Amino acid sequence: MKRLMFLLTLTVFSITLLIHTHAATIVTDGLVSYWTFDLHNIKDGIAEDVWGENDATIMGNPKIADGYLRQGLKFDGLGDYVILDDLGNFQNQLGPSTIEFWINTSYKKGWHPLFRVLEPPCDRRNRGWGILLNASLGIPKLPPIPPNNNDDIIFNEDSIHIQQSNKVGATGCSSGTTSFPFPIADGKWHHFVYVTRIPFIDENGKEWKENVLYLDSVRRPLGKSHYSNPERFLPYTEPVYLGAINDNGKAKRGFRGMLDEVRVYDRMLTDEEVLQNFQSGIGLSVEPTQKLSTVWGELKIK
């Protein structure tokens, strides 16, 4: 009898291992915050940070729906967004960082933000930082241009627009933009990873800031900027409104679609690590496709 129980236990353990071998957990080295947006991690308008201590505040009334992994948040573009505060290197320090999320949208009637931050001095002449969907730059109006003007951003279906602004001292701002085609509004889940590499020191000893965007694990360099005097570059202080524009503390324009599995790292993920996260089907912990009790029950019946 004892031998039979041992064999049954060994069989259950072996089956469990087989169930789990096809999936890998995400990278945790350097992980700062992780919002799953799962039903059991949301309570009273707060999305739990399951890794760190940076719980997020849910604004508006986004719906909890089937996500990429378990559940995610569905935004209607009408006042729904999530406040991500104190994001370490990604927001309020000048250093290497990575932010990633899964996105699903079929919206094609206008441009909308994943996130965008405007604050002085980079709120003048439409210089902010963030990721916009269905967007690109148009022909700017002749001066004078009112502060916080969005008119030079135009609707461009299935185009992703990246804004990379940096505060330079108390009154300066350096700004760069990149737009490229990508079939984002196809109603399918897509993996976004935005990486900042700073400082990047070349063979001549010069310091640069480099940004890279990964789309479904495919690397897309966004260029680099020269940091002749890194001490002059200041961090942003306004929080990220995921799913909206944060215009000096006011939420504007909303994202239409679903977001899931949002993570922030205080370092630059490598190509291999981005691929690992892209291929992971379980997030942090092992999530068997069959519960152990079910397997055990089947073994007892047999």
Q: Are residues 203 and 301 in the same domain?
A: no
Q: Are residues 82 and 159 in the same domain?
A: yes
Q: How confident is the model at residue 92 (pLDDT cuts 50, 70, 90)?
A: low
Compare 108 and 288 and report the one with higher pLDDT: 108
Q: Are residues 259 and 153 in the same domain?
A: yes
For 124, the 3-state DSSP assignment is helix
252: exposed, middle or buried (C-beta count within 10 Å: 0-12, 13-18, 19+)? middle
- Comparing 60-64, 67-71, 91-95, which segment has the lowest mean pLDDT? 91-95
CATH number (domain holding residue 35): 2.60.120.200
Domain with 290 in it: 1-23+286-302
Confidence check: pLDDT of 73 > 90: yes
Q: What is the pLDDT of residues 27-42, one digit of tens each?
A: 999 999 999 999 999 9
Count of CA atoms in the C-beta half-sphere (13 A) of 189: 17
Q: Are residues 38 and 178 in the same domain?
A: yes
Q: Are residues 198 and 231 in the same domain?
A: yes
Q: How confident is the model at residue 141 (pLDDT cuts 50, 70, 90)?
A: very low
Closest CA to 88 of 196, 8, 202: 196
Out of 79-88, 221-230, 289-298, the most confident range is 79-88
pLDDT, residue 147, reads 46
Q: Are residues 297 and 178 in the same domain?
A: no
pLDDT, residue 181, reads 93
Q: Are residues 273 and 291 in the same domain?
A: no
Q: Are residues 174 and 188 in the same domain?
A: yes
Confidence check: pLDDT of 90 > 60: yes
Domain count, the chain: 2
Q: Are residues 42 and 115 in the same domain?
A: yes
Average pLDDT over residues 62-77: 97
Q: Got the DSSP string for 89-120?
A: GGTTSSS-EEEEEEEE----SS-EEEEEEE-T
pLDDT, residue 285, reads 67
Confidence check: pLDDT of 152 > 70: yes
Q: Are residues 293 and 222 in the same domain?
A: no
Q: Are residues 241 and 292 in the same domain?
A: no
Neighbouring residues of 136: CB distance < 8 A, sequence distance ≥ 6: 153, 154, 156, 159, 161, 179
Record the pTM: 0.82
Average pLDDT over residues 221-250: 85
Q: Are residues 268 and 215 in the same domain?
A: yes
Confidence check: pLDDT of 143 > 60: no
Q: What is the pLDDT of residues 251-285, one digit of tens each?
A: 999 999 999 999 999 999 999 999 999 999 898 86
